[in-house]
Structure 1
Amino acid sequence: MDAEVALLAQSAATTLVALMATDAWQHMRDGITRLWRRTQPERADTVAAELEAGREDVLAAIATDDRETLDELRLQWRGSVRRLLVARPAAVEELRALLDRLDPDGSAARQITQRATASGQGRVYQAGRDQHITER
């Protein structure tokens, strides 16, 4: 179950950080806070404050295209969620249900990064899906 917990924690962290900049943010924040309140009530207020601070960091990072900060936030939340799930395995199903409710198709957890460099007469073609190129 350790690999399963790690994968769920990664998905949750990615979804959490992605939803911090959307209208679904309040629902995600409330769900995560409830999860902590039920499983580790002594940490719930701290987690709620970290969520609010994290949202401010996400909005600032998006405004400045600061991908490093977004990556760091994902790592921070991945660790926090993983530790919670290891300490309270019963929280796994509750977290899955929350993610399914707020991000049913998993689109917030998907992250695609493309980088390319061309020099001289080189060309770069990149696409996130289908791509059709006709050169003449």
Structure 2
Amino acid sequence: MDPIVVAAGTELVTAMVTDAWQSARDGVVALWRKARPEQVDVVDAELVEVREQVLEARRDGDADTEQALVGSWQLRLQQLLRADPSLAHEIKRVVDEVLTPALEPADQARVGSLMMKATASGRGRVYQAGRDQTINEK
């Protein structure tokens, strides 16, 4: 899955519980208006419904449901991107200018993305970590 889609889906669902929810919603609706205008009304209604589900999941401490909703929006955004790869720039703009600013600083740090890529040939080894790493070899 494209890293920008992972970030967008995560930040969208996280933004649903913030005071900036309306601007996050408007940003995603604008993305759909550009990509698939015939679906705008349906997507707008679904965003409202999903927000209620996220709020309920937070009240109930149901992290699994919240994560499932994140995954659902990541898949929808990935489908948009597959249908029109030129939307990557627009999705990134929505993330950078709308969704990320809607989050609290702690949430911004929590949902930030990290992309690492490594290759090895022959008998080479690659070790990567987002933080601490211990390697014990004999």
TM-score, L = length of structure 1:
0.72
Q: Distance in 1 between matches of 2:31 and 2:71?
A: 19
1:30 aligned residue: 26
Select which of 20, 42, 45 maps to 1:46.
42
The 10-residue stretch of structure 1 (19-28 or 98-107) with the greater mean CA deviation from structure 2: 98-107
Alignment of 1:65-80 (within 5 A): 65-80=61-76
For the aligned residue pairs, the C-alpha RMSD in angstroms reads 1.9
Given the superposition, is the C-alpha separation of residues 108 and 13 from structure 1 closer, same or farther in structure 2, using an over 3 Å criterion? farther
Q: Distance in 2 between matches of 1:46 and 1:21?
A: 21
Within the alignment, does 1:96 sit opposite 2:92 as a pair? yes
Select which of 12, 17, 42 maps to 2:13.
17
Q: How many residues align?
A: 107
The 10-residue stretch of structure 1 (101-110 or 82-91) with the greater mean CA deviation from structure 2: 101-110
Unaligned runs of 5+ in 2: 114-138
8 Å Cα contact 1:15/1:108 also seen in 2: no
**For 1:43-96, what per-residue CA distance to the aligned partner results, in whole angstroms no more than 9, with x for missing partners?**
111111111001000100001101111011011001000000111222211111
Q: Distance in 2 between matches of 1:90 and 1:110?
A: 23
Q: How many percent identity over aligned positions?
A: 36
Unaligned runs of 5+ in 1: 112-136
Q: Distance in 2 between matches of 1:27 and 1:9?
A: 18
TM-score, L = length of structure 2:
0.71
